[in-house]
């Protein structure tokens, strides 16, 4: 409850944390030969945590997964420490696994624009389903939304501007381009369900769409319409940021549009296209004009 209410972690993160803590408990049961207690957790040494990481690496778990697992166990230890049941000295000395730099993978601008202008996505879909998907995909690319941010939008809140509640309950205002606003209105008009008092994007039964369903459809669409293998709902967000920067947008503006807490999260998009950077350099440097 503390992680959900005070730290405002997402449902998926809470599920992952619970699994990581239970896996740690199972490791200790096998590693030390008995079910861990508060007292035995307090007696753990740095070598025990190293053994735990070795065990996970032996199972093929990557650094990112191991880092998250350490965060989960640390959160559990912090909870016990607040109740004065355990000391944090040992676990706080455990180093987080070094994470490899993962660059976002955008979809090529030409491919994405061509995809958004298709007459249909699946030829057997009802017209309103096609309108819905075009509106959703256009919105993701237009505004760089996380998929759940888009799926949480309610119809009554749709206007030329929409208030989005992002990570950590942080609000931001997004502005809709006229084309995207028109596509959303066309979807609302064509939808057979009453959307007025509910979520904007719904399935065939009128219930809110789930992110897993959206990505499942995109996995099929990329085979049909020649999209890259990494095409996903989140790739639309990466594409939004990358294409804005390639066309000259400044980092601070993109940071605000994405809803990033820190500029460092946005800077990763400047590493994606050395060719575009070279072109800007050649076009703007005084010696490049000679």
234 included as an active-site residue: yes
22 pLDDT above the threshold of 50: yes
List pLDDT tens digits, range 45-101: 999 999 999 999 999 988 888 899 999 999 999 989 988 999 999 999 998 887 766
Among 101-110, 161-170, 264-273, whose mean pLDDT is lowest? 264-273
Q: What is the pLDDT, as a whole number, of residue 285?
A: 59
Among 4-8, 13-17, 141-145, 146-150, whose mean pLDDT is lowest? 4-8
Cα–Cα dist 31/135, whole Å: 53
Name the catalytic one among 137, 141, 187, 269.
Answer: 269
pLDDT band at 251 (very low <50, low <70, confident <90, very high): confident
Q: What is the pLDDT, as a whole number, of residue 70?
A: 93
Name the catalytic one among 132, 217, 237, 243.
Answer: 237
Name the catalytic one among 146, 183, 222, 243.
Answer: 146
Q: What is the mean pLDDT of residues 8-17?
A: 75
Q: What is the mean pLDDT of residues 140-164?
A: 92
167 included as an active-site residue: yes
As given in the structure block, the two tokens for residue 245 are 């920067």
How many other CB atoms are there within 10 angstroms of residue 284's CB atom? 9
Q: What is the pLDDT, as a whole number, of residue 282?
A: 63
Is residue 52 classed as helix, strand or coil in its secondary structure?
Answer: helix
Domains of the chain: 2-92 (no CATH), 109-280 (1.10.443.10)
Q: What is the pLDDT, as a whole number, of residue 275?
A: 47
138 pLDDT above the threshold of 90: yes
List pLDDT tens digits, range 203-229: 999 999 999 999 999 999 998 998 889
Name the catalytic one among 154, 167, 172, 225.
Answer: 167
74 included as an active-site residue: no
As given in the structure block, the two tokens for residue 29 are 């049961």
Name the catalytic one among 56, 134, 238, 260.
Answer: 260
Name the catalytic one among 105, 208, 225, 234.
Answer: 234
How many other CB atoms are there within 10 angstroms of residue 95's CB atom? 10
């Amino acid at each position: 409850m503390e992680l959900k209410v005070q730290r405002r972690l997402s449902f998926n993160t809470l599920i992952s944390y619970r699994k990581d803590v239970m896996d740690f408990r199972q490791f200790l049961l096998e590693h030390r030969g008995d079910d861990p207690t508060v007292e035995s957790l307090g007696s753990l040494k740095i070598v025990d945590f190293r053994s735990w990481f070795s065990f996970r690496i032996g199972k093929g778990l990557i650094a990112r997964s191991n880092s998250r697992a350490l965060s989960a166990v640390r959160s559990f230890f912090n909870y016990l420490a607040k109740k004065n049941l355990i000391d944090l000295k040992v676990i706080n000395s455990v180093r987080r696994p070094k994470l490899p730099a993962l660059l976002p993978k955008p979809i090529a601008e030409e491919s994405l624009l061509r995809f958004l202008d298709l007459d249909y996505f699946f030829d057997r879909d009802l017209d309103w389903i096609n309108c819905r998907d075009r509106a959703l995909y256009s919105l993701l690319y237009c505004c760089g939304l996380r998929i759940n941010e888009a799926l949480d939008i309610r119809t009554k809140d749709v206007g030329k501007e929409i208030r989005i509640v992002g990570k950590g309950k942080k609000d931001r205002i997004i502005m809709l381009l006229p084309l995207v606003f028109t596509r959303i209105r066309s979807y609302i008009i064509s939808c057979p369900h009453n959307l007025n008092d509910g979520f904007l994007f719904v399935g065939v039964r009128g219930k809110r769409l789930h992110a897993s369903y959206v990505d499942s459809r995109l996995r099929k669409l990329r085979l049909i319409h020649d999209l890259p293998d990494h095409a996903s709902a989140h790739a639309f967000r990466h594409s939004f940021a990358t294409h804005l920067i390639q066309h000259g947008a400044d980092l601070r503006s993109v940071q605000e549009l994405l809803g990033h807490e820190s500029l460092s999260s946005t800077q990763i998009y400047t590493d994606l296209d050395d060719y575009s950077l070279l072109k800007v350099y050649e076009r703007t440097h005084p010696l490049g004009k000679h």
